[in-house]
Amino acid sequence: MAGYRLRADEQGRTHLEDVDLLDWPFENGPGDFKGVGGAVMGDASRVMLMRFESGSHPGFHRAVPSFAVLLSGELVVDDSTGAEVTLHPGDSIRVETTGRGGWRLGNRGEDYALLALVQMPAGTSSGSTSPEAGRDVVQG
């Protein structure tokens, strides 16, 4: 399972980079849940299930802060520099752009692709931009 981050620089150009999902701070639960950890990826404001038909590759559009997991199929994600990654089922991407930053999503596969996208409001305290932020989580 792969993880990616889409960030925008000061000029609004977006960049894709690899992220190790296990680097996020995971909080362990108490009692029977000891050893079961959860990581807060941001405050959700909307959850969408997006279906991409085979061959679809809509134009470049604005990306909003979000966290997405590909449920089925394959999906290609392009940033504004022309770099791309291919998501496979279980892969995720954390989108950290606001304003001008954009992306392009497409399905080159023969079947449809399903993407679960959780939008997050920009500028929230729990929507940190790096796994190192928020390491003050108390372990139970």
3-state secondary structure of 50: strand
The three state secondary structure string of 1-15 is: CCEEEEEECCCCCEE
Query: How many CB atoms neighbour CB 127 within 10 A?
Result: 21
Q: Which domains does the chain have, with CATH numbers?
A: 3-22+36-119 (2.60.120.10)
- Residue pLDDT, tens place only, 61-119: 888 888 999 999 999 999 888 899 999 999 999 988 766 668 889 999 999 999 999 98
Assess contact for 1 and 90: CB atoms under 8 A.
yes
Residue 137 has pLDDT above 60, yes or no: no
Query: What contacts 42, CB < 8 A, 6 or more positions away?
Result: 65, 67, 94, 118, 120, 124, 126, 127, 128
pTM score, two decimals?
0.70
